[in-house]
Amino acid sequence: MKRFKKILFVADGSNGEKLALARAIDLAESNKAKLTLMDVLGFEVEASVEKTTRLTIHQLHKELLADRRNELRQMRQSILSKHAGLRVAVEVESGKAAVAVIRSVLRHGHDLVLKAPEGQSNKLARLFGGTDLKLMRKCPCPVWLAKPSRRRRYRKILAAVDLNPVEAETQSLAHQVMEISISLARFERSELHVVHVWRLAGEAKLRGRQVTTARVDKLLHEIRDAHATELKSLIEEHPYEQTTVHLLKGRAGDIIPAAVNELDADLIVLGTVGRAGIPGFFIGNTAEKVLGSVNCSVLTLKPEGFETPIQV
């Protein structure tokens, strides 16, 4: 696997950080990539605070930044003691975590952000926290949130693809999802499950009007066949010996999490598309709903030409 050249690992103390770091190290070695360890400390000083007190607080902040930088340098030395040929850098910033990480991506050209999720790993709690979601919405490079797991390797990777022949951006993103999913599946020695969801918008209303059941059923078959043809073409362009294809009917926001759960997938690779004129947001609620429902590691990709609303 030779896909990533500059990997940014967010060492923010999230649950499962040690396991996520091990995966980042494996990726960096496999890709011969540079690995950067980064943390962001959030500081806020009330405007009403007296000047002398504000100066004292700022001094304390500097000391905390220096302490954290030393901690990450020790982490770097520990990594190098076991992985001598690895290139490892350290970066510590202050401010809002997601914004600082994205600015680092823009400044240094990182092509992957990897971190442990902020949330809990049990099924009763949301896995992804506020910083995680902001990164997935607005970071221009792929964002990989590696859920803690006892498994060293992923057994099953689910690639969620959207296919629309009249939207070049969607088609391009589907190819990206396949390319990176297969690359990771080979690296992890995983099964690859490709999921595409289709539906006839307004089907229930059509059946309730003066439209015969036969006409609606015929339309459903035509739509399904069209999606099946597009999916077959995509799979043929991206062959992988352990691929299973799932063409499922329904709403993607409901069907994809259900497929993740049924397959017991370890990682879902998901493309995101920005709404026209609103950079940094998912199109519709599908991706947001999926991310709020799954309980596995997630790798999100942006379409070519995506522009983050964050500026350096």
Is 182 found in the same domain as 311?
Answer: yes
- pLDDT at position 42, please? 82
Is 185 found in the same domain as 88?
Answer: no
- pLDDT at position 124, please? 45
- pLDDT at position 61, please? 87
Distance (Å, whole) CA 287 – CA 280:
13
- pLDDT at position 141, please? 95
Contacts of 242 (CB under 8 A, 6+ apart): 185, 190, 191, 192
Is 164 found in the same domain as 127?
Answer: no
Is 137 found in the same domain as 196?
Answer: no
Is 105 found in the same domain as 227?
Answer: no
Is 138 found in the same domain as 11?
Answer: yes
Residue by residue, pLDDT tens for the chain (312 residues) are 568 999 999 999 888 899 999 999 999 999 999 999 999 998 765 555 566 666 677 788 889 999 999 999 999 999 999 999 999 999 999 999 999 999 999 999 999 999 999 876 555 457 888 899 899 889 999 999 998 877 778 999 999 998 876 666 778 889 999 999 999 999 999 999 999 999 877 666 676 666 677 887 888 889 999 999 999 999 999 999 999 999 999 988 899 999 999 999 999 999 876 444 444 344 446 777 788 888 899 999 988 888 888 998
Q: Last residue of some domain: 133, 148, 163?
A: 148
Q: Last residue of some domain: 148, 179, 196?
A: 148
Is 85 found in the same domain as 164?
Answer: no
Residue 223: count of CB within 10 angstroms of its CB: 16
Q: Last residue of some domain: 122, 148, 174?
A: 148
- Number of domains present in the structure of the chain: 2
- pLDDT at position 288, please? 75
Is 159 found in the same domain as 280?
Answer: yes
Sign of CA dihedral 186, 190, 191, 192: negative
Is 159 found in the same domain as 144?
Answer: no
Q: Which DSSP helix (H) or strand (E) runs through 196? A: strand 191-198
Is 157 found in the same domain as 143?
Answer: no
Is 223 found in the same domain as 198?
Answer: yes
Write the DSSP string, the chain. Answer: ----SEEEEE-S--TTHHHHHHHHHHHHHHHT-EEEEEEEE-----TTS-HHHHHHHHHHHHHHHHHHHHHHHHHHHHHHHH-TT-EEEEEEEES-HHHHHHHHHHHH--SEEEE--SS-SSTTS-S--HHHHHHHHH-SS-EEE----S-SS-SEEEEE----TT-HHHHHHHHHHHHHHHHHHHHHT-EEEEEEEE--TTHHHHHHSS--HHHHHHHHHHHHHHHHHHHHHHHHHS--TTEEEEEEES-HHHHHHHHHHHHT-SEEEEE--EETTEEEEESSSHHHHHHTT--SEEEEE--TT---S---
Residue 263 belongs to what domain range? Answer: 153-312
Domain at 243, CATH number: 3.40.50.12370
Is 32 found in the same domain as 84?
Answer: yes
SS3 146: coil
Strands 297-301 and 267-271: what pairing?
Answer: parallel
Task: Give the CA distances from residue 10 to residues 136, 198, 237, 311, in Å, rounded to whole numbers and listed in that order.
Answer: 14, 36, 34, 19
- Residue type at position 96: K
Distance (Å, whole) CA 294 – CA 241:
26
Distance (Å, whole) CA 70 – CA 92:
10
Domain at 73, CATH number: 3.40.50.620
